[in-house]
């Protein structure tokens, strides 16, 4: 085994731990934000918040699965949301398990699952909210951007 192969294995394990840690941090963040009523769920609802009060957005999660990969309108919305997030220094990640995200954010008043394609974690400008999971995810996004992964994908932990 060469030194490069050895370091490659080490990086793979380190990367796997990083992704698992980010998945756990995202789950913790979403649960804490939901408990504080700091979540905005849905593509259109998120677009409204970004338009009215962009400074309140602390983090963005975009979710898709195989069923929606060919949805052109959704992909256009994602592109616009990503551009807005980049322009306003908002960290953004992708999650490929929309059902798990929908379970985390809960149902609406009628009991129907919410549209979890876009989830914003907000923080009031007057009283900024600090959360260790948000800090971990910010570091994860920064490290991902350093290797040109502009919108990193995160896998949520199994339940």
Enumerate the H helices of the chain as residue ranges: 3-35, 43-52, 72-87, 98-105, 132-146
Can you say how many angstroms the Cα of residue 149 is from the centroid of all Cα atoms in its chain? 14
The model's pLDDT over 54-76, given as tens digits with 9 standing for 90+, comes to: 899 999 999 977 777 788 888 89
Q: What is the pLDDT of residue 102?
A: 87
User: Tokens 């009060």 belong to which residue?
Assistant: 53
Can you say how many angstroms the Cα of residue 89 is from the centroid of all Cα atoms in its chain? 14
Q: What is the pLDDT of residue 107?
A: 66
pTM, two decimals, is 0.83
Domains and CATH numbers, the chain: 57-158 (3.30.1330.30)
One digit per residue, the tens of pLDDT, for the chain of length 159 reads 554 444 444 444 456 666 678 999 999 999 999 999 999 999 999 999 999 998 999 999 999 777 777 888 888 999 999 999 999 999 999 998 888 898 888 866 666 667 889 999 998 776 777 889 999 999 999 999 998 888 999 989 887
User: Does residue 86 sit in helix, strand or coil?
Assistant: helix
Residue 83 contacts residue 89 (beta carbons within 8 Å): no
- Identify the burial level of 122 via C-beta atoms within 10 angstroms of its C-beta, where 0-12 means exposed, 13-18 middle and 19 or more buried: buried
Closest to 73 (Cα-Cα) out of 100, 81, 45: 81
């Amino acid at each position: 085994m060469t030194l490069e192969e050895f370091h490659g294995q080490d990086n793979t394990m380190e990367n796997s731990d990083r992704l698992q840690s980010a998945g756990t941090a995202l789950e913790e963040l979403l649960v804490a934000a939901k408990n504080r009523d700091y979540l905005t769920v849905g593509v259109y609802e998120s677009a409204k918040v970004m338009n009215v009060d962009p400074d309140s957005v602390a983090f963005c999660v975009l979710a898709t699965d195989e069923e929606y990969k060919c949805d052109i309108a959704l992909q256009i919305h994602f592109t616009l949301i990503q551009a807005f997030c980049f322009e306003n220094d908002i960290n953004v990640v992708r999650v490929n398990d929309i059902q798990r995200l929908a379970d985390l954010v809960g149902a609406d008043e009628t009991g129907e699952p919410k549209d979890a394609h876009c989830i914003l974690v907000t923080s009031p400008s007057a009283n900024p909210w600090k959360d260790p999971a948000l800090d971990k995810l910010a570091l994860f996004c920064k490290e991902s951007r350093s290797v040109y992964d502009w919108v990193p994908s995160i896998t949520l932990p199994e339940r």
